[in-house]
Chains A and B, each alone.
Chain A
């Protein structure tokens, strides 16, 4: 592995990859929900809840990279942490390699953590400032009895080298490193226990653009070498584009679109995804596309809008009263391409049902970005 800057290469994106992972998925979650109670007053009475994750279902196949994209606050981090049970989900199921994760007792859960790791969003706060880099990396090894003594030291050095750091750094403290180096430390630390799944929670968003590419390259190399599975969280599509096999888009705690990376970039269906994508700069300077500017703020997850949670900001020309009533199901719009929008045909919500809910406009295809040539050619 080298630090040399490499141009972000195109995602491997095997076109065979469909909306749903084939074969036995490594990770499978269904109807996962996390509500954070809102406490008020002196005695901490519960006054409502933040619906950070609201009924999310998805599956990740072995060796796959599932990208999760969405604006800040949409629940990505919460979702990632719930999967590892770093926070306890409110409801729903999580299966890892067939194991019912939520049913595990604390000791078994700790053992399982060897197989599922996480790389945190903030490289500055995620490393214990009071421990040397060596100790940070080594702790996982000793906790899971993977190595001890001199052997553990060796492993630590190896791991540091593997993530592109000098082995001598083991005796230094985190504050002596740059952001990129720290994130590499975080990666080395995660790798130490030889996990199968790594939740990468915006691993590069706090980094310089130039460094971002290096870290992503590193992650890709590691995935290739070790056959890792990634759940890759990002708040903009451009980062995910280079690494993800499939991409799911989140809005206010819900998944609103899920498809292969290529499909999402080529033909985003959900109006929210379209808006997100319109903000991604196009590599080809000749091509340009209209920026879809969303009006209004993201509503509070403590008090999400009724019906389609996106309706207050939705630019879809067919949006009407039905959108405020009907909760759009996540349904297939094209083979392997699912999205939640009752105005993008085909939809399983029949017109008369929409009319009953006050619909005035027929669903119609609205693909403002489809015409634009995207960096990844179809």
Chain B
């Protein structure tokens, strides 16, 4: 297991390196640079822009910039953000926790909902309820993130006013709330964005879970359990689900990339100050270092997801653990 992990980590590091290099290349090759990003910057003379480029080292050959970037990266430093004070890592450090909270909550919610719905469907496979739920999850899965987000926003923030429509905390009240009140405040703000992400994810998880359970339910060991006199509910939860969870749990790690992609849109809709928003704004402004940093964070998440999937697989499946 340790060797396996070491190999996975090395592989992950390589993936991250490639992602960093690719994003370096792409962002530098994309038209424009940090000082040409908006129309109005036309009012600034080219010589001033040239001076800026020189001051930030953007006038050097790309290869040299790349090598310098690698040198910095080796020291764990992304370099300064070109468009805002402070290092790029500071900008990321502000955004990453918000994204992690959003994705983490969405991940848990999506699995709870997905596994719940999928199991409920599998337990009554072929019934009307199963078909309705199946079609519903098919529809939900194919909805664009921002659309679903907008619908939830309209229903729960505008129509029923149960959840706020944006932000991480109440901008004014938060600091004067009690500790419990602050937690509640955060949860209330987390509700809609995480639910949007979770619903999208849960649709495919439900289908996956249903299929996995249907694979497991006809197997003999389920009959064995029933033959023992185990009640139907216990058969489902203790015997069937435990086995059917394996593919689904593996999905947990693998769903991180999709989730991250969804988060970009959801963060936009709910004004959620996370990695996605940061990356979109940084790319728009060609804030090179922040874009690269965000890409690296994304790659880290994806790699971590893969390793997590393997670890989870090992944790839930004794057959894998043995290897």
Of B227, B239, B316, which contacts A113 at CB under 8 A?
Answer: B227
Are B228's CB and A139's CB within 8 A? Answer: yes
How near does chain B come to A76, taking the closest CB pair, in angstroms?
15
**Cβ of A86 under 8 Å from chain B:** yes
Contacts of B228 in A (CB 8 A): 113, 139-140, 143, 189, 193
A128 and B221 in contact (CB under 8 A), knowing A44-B126, A84-B227, A118-B227?
yes
CA distance A143 to B229 in the complex (A): 7
Are B224's CB and A173's CB within 8 A? Answer: no
Contacts of B220 in A (CB 8 A): 120-122, 125-126
Are B227's CB and A130's CB within 8 A? Answer: no
Please give me the residue from chain A that is nearest to B226 by CB atom. Answer: A86
Please give me the residue from chain B that is nearest to A84 by CB atom. Answer: B227
Contacts of B316 in A (CB 8 A): 130
CA distance A114 to B243 in the complex (A): 25
Contacts of A151 in B (CB 8 A): none
CA distance A129 to B230 in the complex (A): 17
**Cβ of A127 under 8 Å from chain B:** yes
Interface residues of A in 260-318 (CB under 8 A from B): none
CB-defined interface of B299-323 with A at 8 Å, one 1/0 digit per residue?
0000000000000000011110010
How near does chain B come to A202, taking the closest CB pair, in angstroms?
12
CA distance A362 to B226 in the complex (A): 51
Contacts of B226 in A (CB 8 A): 86, 113
Number of A-B residue pairs having CB atoms within 8 Å of each other in the complex: 79
CA distance A117 to B231 in the complex (A): 15
Please give me the residue from chain A that is nearest to B232 by CB atom. Answer: A106
**Cβ of A361 under 8 Å from chain B:** no
Please give me the residue from chain A that is nearest to B245 by CB atom. Answer: A130
Are A127's CB and B243's CB within 8 A? Answer: no
Contacts of B232 in A (CB 8 A): 106
Most buried by A among B223, B229, B239, B243: B229
Contacts of A114 in B (CB 8 A): 229
How near does chain B come to A79, taking the closest CB pair, in angstroms?
14
The interface residues of chain B, by DSSP majority, are classed as helix
What is the size category of the interface that chain B forms with chain A? 20 to 34
CB-defined interface of A175-198 with B at 8 Å, one 1/0 digit per residue?
110000000001001100100000
CA distance A111 to B224 in the complex (A): 15
A139 and B126 in contact (CB under 8 A), knowing A128-B242, A129-B319?
no
Are B318's CB and A129's CB within 8 A? Answer: yes
Please give me the residue from chain A that is nearest to B244 by CB atom. Answer: A130
**Cβ of A81 under 8 Å from chain B:** yes
Contacts of B126 in A (CB 8 A): 39, 44
Contacts of B227 in A (CB 8 A): 84, 86, 113, 117-118, 190
CA distance A127 to B222 in the complex (A): 8
A128 and B317 in contact (CB under 8 A), knowing A44-B126, A121-B220, A176-B322?
no
**Cβ of B225 under 8 Å from chain A:** yes
CA distance A166 to B45 in the complex (A): 86
Are B229's CB and A113's CB within 8 A? Answer: yes
Are B318's CB and A175's CB within 8 A? Answer: yes
Pairs of residues from A and B, 5 with the lowest C-beta to C-beta distance, nearest first: A126-B220, A113-B229, A173-B318, A110-B229, A140-B228
User: Can you list 12 A-B pairs, Cβ within 8 angstroms, ordered by A?
Assistant: A110-B229, A113-B227, A113-B229, A118-B227, A126-B221, A126-B223, A128-B224, A128-B242, A173-B319, A175-B318, A175-B322, A193-B228
Chain B interface residues toward A at CB < 8 A: 126, 219-221, 223-232, 239, 242-243, 316-319, 322
